[in-house]
Amino acid sequence: MRKILAAGAVVAAALSTTAGIAQAESSPTCSSVTQIGSTAYATSGGTTVASVKQFKGCGKNFSYVYVWDSWISSHSRDFTLRTYVQTRPNNSNGYKTGARGQQELWSGGADTLDQCTRAHGEVDGSSYFTFAKTSERC
């Protein structure tokens, strides 16, 4: 019985270490997307607020921003998300702004597969502003 309880505690501990990590959903406009590049993290005061990712699919690039559950649980939903695919020299493609308190946001599809791109995501709160950009993918 002790082994079962100990195993359960280990599983619970392992699951709790991933709480708040963004789990990307399918794009609302493309049923088959693949993440390209690494995930970037927007922080505030040394704490992770959100994840920013870049995806490709359906002949387009997409950016995605997700505010972590752990951030929302200790702060209000008084924030707005913005995200877009950035190309050189700082052009915004597929720019979208979310509703107040929206936890995740996809950009519109950007016709940028033949260009160097990065995902840009912002979390704009009443008492903070943070953003992150993924590394550039060519």
> pLDDT tens, 47-96?
999 999 999 999 999 999 999 999 999 888 999 999 999 999 889 999 99
Give the pLDDT confidence score for residue 48 in this predicted structure.
Answer: 97
| Distance between CA atoms of residues 47 and 108, nearest Å | 28
What confidence score (pLDDT) does residue 76 get? 86
Q: Report if residue 31 sits inside a domain.
A: yes
Count how many domains the chain has.
1
In a domain, 45, yes or no: yes
57 within domain boundaries: yes
Residue 127 has pLDDT above 90, yes or no: no
Q: Give residue 22's domain range.
A: 2-133
Signed CA dihedral, 44, 46, 47, 52: sign only: positive
Residue 138 in any domain: the answer is no
Average pLDDT, the chain: 86
Position 102 scores a pLDDT of 96
Give this prediction's pTM: 0.81
